Structure 1
Amino acid sequence: MTPPVRPSVATMTAEDVVCLHWPVDPDLLRPRLPTPLDLSLFDETAWLSVVAFGATDLRPRGTPARLGRSFSELRLQTYVWHRGTPGRYVFSVDAGDRPIAHLFRLTSRIPYVAADGRVERDDDGVHVVSRRDQLGMPPATFEATVTLDGESSAVDGRDRDRWIGGHGRVFGAAGGTLWALDVERETPAFRPATATLWENTLFDAAGVPTPSSEPAVRYSPSWPMHASLPWLVRQ
C-alpha cells in the first residue's frame, strides 16, 4: 500500500521549467543510491534529469505573498522506489539564494548548494546559467539555451512524462542520513523543446555516469507545488 502524502506546509511556483532527461544504464547508476532506495525504471531504463526553473513565491503555506522568496534552482536527480512509493533521489540542488541553500540543506538533508544562477526567458527561448560558488563543495557549471518546438502542447513520449511526474516524494542524503519530503503537484502539459548545452559539469561533480545520448527536452511555463515537512527515513 502506498503511504499517504503528508500535509504540506510550504508553497511555491516553479516558472519557466526546463527538464532535460537522459536514459542511463541502471547498472551504472544503482551503486550511487543509498540504502534502502531502489531504481525506478521506464522501459527497463534508468533516467537522469537536470531540472531548472525560477522558484517564485516560496513561503509557508497560508502566509502573505509578500513573505515569499524567489531564486533560481537547478536540480540533478534520478527516479527511485522506497517501500512501494515512487520518488526522486536528488544528487544536488544549485540554488541562487545562499541563505535558502544553507537552511534547506540543514533542515531537509536535500543537498542544496549556493550558486550564482539565473533562469530567463526571452524571444530566443529560455537561458539557464548556474555556477556553483560554495566553498567546500565540488565546483559545477551548467549553461544551456532551450528553444521551444512549435506551438503545440502535445509531445512524443508523454507516457514517460507522466511516469516522471508521478515521482512526487523527494529523497536527499546530505550529511549521510536519508531524509524525505512529499511534494503535491499536478503534472503539467509539457511542450517539446530543443537544448543547446554550452557547458555541463554537474555529472562529474555528483560522481554519476555521463550519458552518451542526447536528452529529451521539455518545457512548462508554470508548475505550482506544495511541500511537506521533511522526515528521517529509517532503514
Structure 2
Amino acid sequence: MAGARPEQRVRWPAVAQSWRHVSFLHWAFPPDVVAARLPAGLEPDLWEGQAWLGLTPFLVEGFRLPPFPALPSLSRYPETNLRTYVRGPGGVDGLWFFSLDADSALTVVTAWVGTGVPYQWSAMGVEPGETITYTARRRRPCRPAGHRIVIRPGPPLPAAEVSQRDHFLTGRWRAYTVLAGALATVPVEHQPWRLQRAEVVALEEDLFAAAGLPVPSGPPLVGYSPGVDARLGPVRPVRRRAVPDR
C-alpha cells in the first residue's frame, strides 16, 4: 500500500535507474473526471474524497537493462510523467500514467513494446541550480505538447512534518498498465523519498490537454526530492482475484 517504504523487493529487475532532481506538482480533481479516463478494472484512489493528478519532471541517470551495464550515451535523459493514483482488483493501489515524456528513443520503444506504458519521444532539458528548469516539447509524429516548469527547492522536510498525504502522493510501489488488452502491473522499489519544500517559479504546460484531461486550475501542491535509486520489475498480469494490500 502507499507509504514511505517499499512493500516488496524487486530481486530481479527488468530496469534499473536513478531518478534525480525530482519535482512533484499535484492538483485535486473530482473523482468522476478521473474515473472516466481510466481503463476497466481501475478506479481513482481518493484522498479526502478527491482524486489527484500529478506532473512529475525529473532526470534519469544510469538507465540499464540488467544484467547489461549502463551505456554512457543512452543512460542519462530527462523524463516527465503525468499520473494519477488508482486502485485495481482487490483494492490494490498503484499508479496510472496518462503519459510519460522521455528524451530517449530507446526508452520510448522498449517501454511501449515491453510494458504498454504510453511513452512519448520528446526534446527535453533539466537545468539544475538554485532553481531547476524542466523543458519538454514532443517530437513528430507525436501530437504537439510540452511544458516549461521552474521550481525553487526549499529546505528538507523533517520526518515529523512529512504527512500521510505526502506518502499518498509519492510512495507508490506499482504502476498499472494495459498490455495486449489485459491489465498488468510493474512492481517498483526504491529508497524512501527525501522530501523538501518547494515553490513554483514558472509553469506552462499543455500535457493535460494532450491527454484529454481538463486543464488544472489553481496552484499545485509542490514538493521536491534530490532523488532515489529505483528498480522496476517485469510486467505481471493482474489476477482476477487480487489480494488487497495490508
* TM-score, normalised relative to structure 2: 0.85
Q: Tell me the SS of whatever aligns to 1:105.
A: helix
Quick check: 1:70 aligned with 2:70? no
Tell me what 1:144 maps to: 149
Quick check: 1:213 aligned with 2:191? no
169-178 vs 107-116, greater mean Cα deviation: 169-178
Do the aligned partners of 1:165 and 1:187 also contact (CA within 8 Å) in 2? no
Quick check: 1:14 aligned with 2:19? yes
Aligned ranges 1:91-110 → 2 under 5 Å: 91-110=98-117
Quick check: 1:44 aligned with 2:49? yes
Quick check: 1:120 aligned with 2:120? no
CA distance in 2, matches of 1:174, 1:130: 26
Tell me what 1:165 maps to: 170
Tell me what 2:244 maps to: none
2:157 is aligned, of 153, 156, 159, to: 153
Segments of 5+ residues of structure 2 without an aligned counterpart are 2-6, 241-246
Segments of 5+ residues of structure 1 without an aligned counterpart are none
CA distance in 2, matches of 1:99, 1:93: 14
* C-alpha displacement of 1:63: 4.2
Supply the AA of the counterpart residue of 2:95: R
Quick check: 1:27 aligned with 2:58? no
CA distance in 1, matches of 2:59, 2:122: 13
Do the aligned partners of 1:8 and 1:184 also contact (CA within 8 Å) in 2? no
CA distance in 2, matches of 1:154, 1:219: 13
Quick check: 1:191 aligned with 2:196? yes
What percentage of residue pairs aligned between the two structures are identical?
A: 27
* C-alpha displacement of 1:8: 3.7
CA distance in 2, matches of 1:63, 1:23: 40
Q: Tell me the SS of whatever aligns to 2:156.
A: coil
* TM-score, normalised relative to structure 1: 0.89
Residue 234 to residue 35, structure 1, CA distance change in 2 (3 Å): farther
CA distance in 1, matches of 2:181, 2:144: 20
Do the aligned partners of 1:87 and 1:170 also contact (CA within 8 Å) in 2? yes
1:56 is aligned, of 51, 61, 68, to: 61
Tell me what 2:95 maps to: 88
For the aligned residue pairs, the C-alpha RMSD in angstroms reads 2.5
Report the count of equivalent residues: 232
Q: Tell me the SS of whatever aligns to 1:187.
A: coil
Residue 74 to residue 220, structure 1, CA distance change in 2 (3 Å): same
Do the aligned partners of 1:78 and 1:90 also contact (CA within 8 Å) in 2? yes
CA distance in 1, matches of 2:181, 2:206: 23
Do the aligned partners of 2:10 and 2:189 also contact (CA within 8 Å) in 1? no
The one-character-per-residue Cα deviations of 1:139-174 (angstroms, maximum 9, x if unpaired) are 21111100123x333396622111123321112237
156-165 vs 172-181, greater mean Cα deviation: 172-181
